[in-house]
Amino acid sequence: MNNFSIEENNLILESSKGKEIISLNKPILKNFVTAVKTLFDSLRQNKCDWKMNDNIFLMNVIQQGLVFTKKLKNMNTNNKKKLILLLLFNLLDNEIKENNELISLKEKIVEGIETIIEPAIELAMMTQNNEFKIPKNFLWNVLSICRRSQTTP
């Protein structure tokens, strides 16, 4: 899958094999859309205080995003992350059209997506795809630092 876009209420995935159109209302995306809307509702109620927000909503968005993108086997991790972020921003724009209260909070929500959700999605995807590698000497270095700190007075 080389390219993707959202037109109207459809996600369009393009690859060398052709186009695939997925409605945002289809079951494959419905759980993700519901999780995102629940997160946005919670943020609206908390005046976009990400610290006061229930982390279960955030984790649910990440989980449902992973469930959806896991089915896209021909897409690399970076493109999957970009796809989820595209969906998030599209859903945010749609929610703002439906709920004027979110207009004043949009900047804070976008900042939270970029600083909280994006790195969490990337880490989760890297872990899911076995791309998250810890160097072999990392653990040894950590243990040696711990050992040195215990022996020095």
Q: What is the pLDDT of residues 43-64, one digit of tens each?
A: 888 888 888 877 889 999 999 9
- In 10 A of CB 149, how many CB atoms? 8
* Of residues 61, 74, 76, the one with CA closest to residue 29: 61
Confidence grade of residue 39 (pLDDT, cut at 50, 70, 90): very high
Residue 33 has a pLDDT of 92
How far is the C-alpha of 102 from the C-alpha of 79, rounded, in Å? Answer: 28
- pLDDT computed for residue 153 by the predictor: 56
Identity of the highest mean pLDDT range in 16-20, 130-134, 149-153:
16-20
Residue 152 or 32, more confident? 32
